[in-house]
Amino acid sequence: MLVPALLLLFLCLRGRAGGLPHFLQQPDDLVVLLGDEARLSCALGAYRGLVQWTKDGLALGGERDLPGWSRYWISGNAASGQHDLHIKPVELEDQASYECQATQAGLRSRPAQLHVLVPPEAPQVLGGPSVSLVAGVPANLTCRSHGDAHPTPELLWFRDGVRLDGTTFHQTLLKEGTTGSVESILFLTPSSRDDGATLVCRARSQALPAGKDTAITLSLQYPPVVTLSAEPQTVQEGEKVTFLCQATAQPPVTGYRWAKGGSPVLGARGPMLEVVADASFLTAPVSCEVSNAVGSANRSTALDVQFGPILQAKPEPLSVDAGEDASFSCAWRGNPLPRVTWTRRGGTQVLGFGPTLRLPSVGPEDAGDYVCRAEPGLSGRGGGAAEARLTVNAPPIVTALQSAPASLRGPARLQCLVFASPAPEAVVWSWDEGFLAAGSRGRFLVETFPAPEGRGGQGPGLISVLHISGTQESDFSRGFNCSARNRLGEGGTRVSLGRRDLLPTVQIVAGVAAAALTLLMVITGVALCCWRHGKASFSKQKNLVRIPGSSDGSSSRGAEEETGSGGDRGPIVHTDHSDLVLDEEGTLESKDPTNGYYKVRGVSVSLSLGEAPGGGLFLPPPSPLGPPGTPTFYDFNPHLGVVPPCRLYRARAGYLTTPHPRAFTSYIKPTSFGPPDLAPGTPPFPYAAFPTPGHPRLQTHV
């Protein structure tokens, strides 16, 4: 019973609800473009009363044509409950909230929002349509949209269809609910590549999804864009290189300036520079600076200059203790990189390569000069060697020097040679009863002298000398020690004194004295014999030599020049011996040629000639040499025992050959000489083959 009752109640309520007024269709929110038609739908069921629309709560009226609202009307079949609101053309003021109301039934539809879209106008770019910018200088481009666009448009920037970033957006409100101008600013730093580029500013909104565009063209002013090249880029030192500087600029280029390593190249003004390459171009690049009204720009390039090795840093001398490591360094510069080798001075073995030589745990044998060498480059230039000395500090090296033997009770000298690095503190001589480093002590005296430079790296050398005065027998049997000490240790050697016997020396001196005495006696005897032979007397008158048979009658004759009488005697030849005088015994002697200044006694001379029978001068038979009519030559060789010269010269004025070199005679100078008479087979200079009689030579010294 309960279930049928409930079913009956449900059916009653359903029938009652179907008869009440209700909305069949309610208006929805609507978006419409400005100037288009807007339609808001409204349908009622089970209602036959008044239907009206409200705009933001304001009733528009119940008539279908809505008087007072010329652009508004209601359409549809009222009997069927259709009441649609139309607005045409839609204006911006039509944007509001609309409701459909059944006033008699007390029904209200949900609010419907009408949105009126206003398309934006074409934007404006300040400075367009051609905007002048400076390349490299930050700039702002402003795009502005005016009008009552709704909704507010979005301003976008494009280049070649690609949207650009880096913009800001700015909106200005005129009054509440409306907008004024809208602008967008594009920040950019243009480059020379932007010259002539086209940029687009687009205003876009819901009312105009495609948007409206405004295009501008960039006109760039930019400093020079420089390209620098060198021909050739790789050169040998000493070759010529040409640099070419090319530039594009707006406005045009106004000047060029060249520099090398930052220093201006004087006289270079145009776009081309010619130089002769050297090693400095490898590290000092060449730059070209180009200028115009906007600014300047420069480019630089370095040449690949190939050159031989150049020494930049020499190795430094080293002094290390024995057992320590030693390291030398030297720096060579070259292109290509030079090959550096290390050797020892005087040797050929390569000890290392590269700029550094390391010698581990050196000893005294490593001391010396080390050479850092670089070979010349491909061009044959450069290269060379530099050396440094390694001094190895070690205990002194003492060597005994050879000393001369000494005689008993005579002076003696012992020597030792000391090489040490560092220099020795002292060199000490010691013996049985004492020692001495410097100065004197009794019979002993020590002196020290610098020694000649020894083998490289041995350190400074010293020669220490021990003088002994009045040697004793014990000095020859004992040893003397020469020692030296430095901070690294001590070194020494034993030096012995050699003995020299006196007997051989006495024998030598006696032999020399005996030989000298014998020689003196021989000289005295020879001189005495010569003096006796020279005591022959000359006539106290003028010395006359008669030459019988002489055909020359040109000799002057006077009463005082003739002796004897008789026409059979030949002509008299005058010989002047004014420099000869007779001593008290009648001996003919020469005068002192220095007039007593040097107290030199002249040498006695004499000339002995035989007498012919009858009292005349004995002359040998005339020589058959020479043609008739020539002066007669007399051969005295058989009488004097002197070998005659083999060259016989004939003079036109006759003369008498001096028979002995001790004879002082004068002669008449011949006026001319005839050809020599040579025997067959005679050598060109035969006088060299004959012995010359020896005689004492008179000699004076000033």
Q: What is the pLDDT of residue 105?
A: 87
Average pLDDT (405-430) is 89
Contact yes or no for 464/491 (Cβ under 8 A): no
Contact yes or no for 448/430 (Cβ under 8 A): no
User: Band of the pLDDT at 240, cuts 50, 70, 90?
Assistant: very high
468 burial via Cβ count (<10 Å: 0-12, 13-18, 19+): buried
Q: How many CB atoms lie within 10 A of CB 18?
A: 10
Average pLDDT (253-270) is 92
DSSP-assigned letters across all residues of 112-173: EEEEEEBPPPPPEETT-SEEEEETTS-EEEEEEE-S--BSPPEEEEEETTEE---EEEEEEE
Judge whether residue 642 has pLDDT over 60.
no
Average pLDDT (240-255) is 92
Contact yes or no for 150/190 (Cβ under 8 A): no
566 burial via Cβ count (<10 Å: 0-12, 13-18, 19+): exposed
Tokens (6 digits) for 504: 């051989």
Condensed to tens digits (0 to 9), the pLDDT of residues 94-119 reads 999 999 999 888 899 999 999 988 88
Q: What is the pLDDT of residue 571?
A: 41
User: Band of the pLDDT at 502, cuts 50, 70, 90?
Assistant: low
Weakest-pLDDT range from 305-319, 450-464, 556-570: 556-570
Weakest-pLDDT range from 358-367, 421-430, 572-581: 572-581
Of 629 and 171, the one with more pLDDT: 171
User: Band of the pLDDT at 507, cuts 50, 70, 90?
Assistant: low
Judge whether residue 381 has pLDDT over 60.
yes
Average pLDDT (143-172) is 81
Distant-in-sequence, close-in-space partners of 441: CB < 8 Å, separation ≥ 6: 434
User: Band of the pLDDT at 612, cuts 50, 70, 90?
Assistant: very low
Average pLDDT value over all residues in the chain: 75
Q: What is the pLDDT of residue 436?
A: 87
Judge whether residue 538 has pLDDT over 80.
no
DSSP-assigned letters across all residues of 336-402: SPPPEEEEETT---EEEESSEEEE-S--GGG-EEEEEEE---TTS---EEEEEEEEEEEEEEEEEEP
Is 0.75 topped by the overall pTM? no
Average pLDDT (207-217) is 90
Of 533 and 287, the one with more pLDDT: 287
| CA–CA dist 580, 589 (Å, integer) | 5
Weakest-pLDDT range from 168-177, 410-419, 536-545: 536-545
Contact yes or no for 383/375 (Cβ under 8 A): yes
Q: What is the pLDDT of residue 18?
A: 53
| CA–CA dist 302, 282 (Å, integer) | 6
- Sheet containing strand 234-236, strands side by side: 234-236, 304-313, 331-335
Weakest-pLDDT range from 41-55, 161-175, 373-387, 661-675: 661-675
Condensed to tens digits (0 to 9), the pLDDT of residues 317-356 reads 999 998 999 999 999 988 888 899 999 998 889 999 999 9
Distant-in-sequence, close-in-space partners of 215: CB < 8 Å, separation ≥ 6: 128, 129, 198, 199, 200, 201
**Token pair 């003079």 is at which residue?**
651
Weakest-pLDDT range from 10-24, 70-84, 173-187, 287-301: 10-24
Q: What is the pLDDT of residue 454?
A: 58
**Token pair 């021990």 is at which residue?**
466
Q: What is the pLDDT of residue 273?
A: 94
User: Band of the pLDDT at 253, cuts 50, 70, 90?
Assistant: very high
Percentage of the residues of the chain whose pLDDT score is greater than 70: 69
Average pLDDT (159-179) is 68
| CA–CA dist 403, 465 (Å, integer) | 10
Q: What is the pLDDT of residue 433?
A: 78
Q: What is the pLDDT of residue 120?
A: 87
Q: What is the pLDDT of residue 40?
A: 94
Condensed to tens digits (0 to 9), the pLDDT of residues 9-43 reads 443 444 444 578 999 999 999 999 888 999 999 99
Tokens (6 digits) for 601: 């006694």
Contact yes or no for 627/619 (Cβ under 8 A): no
| CA–CA dist 432, 430 (Å, integer) | 7
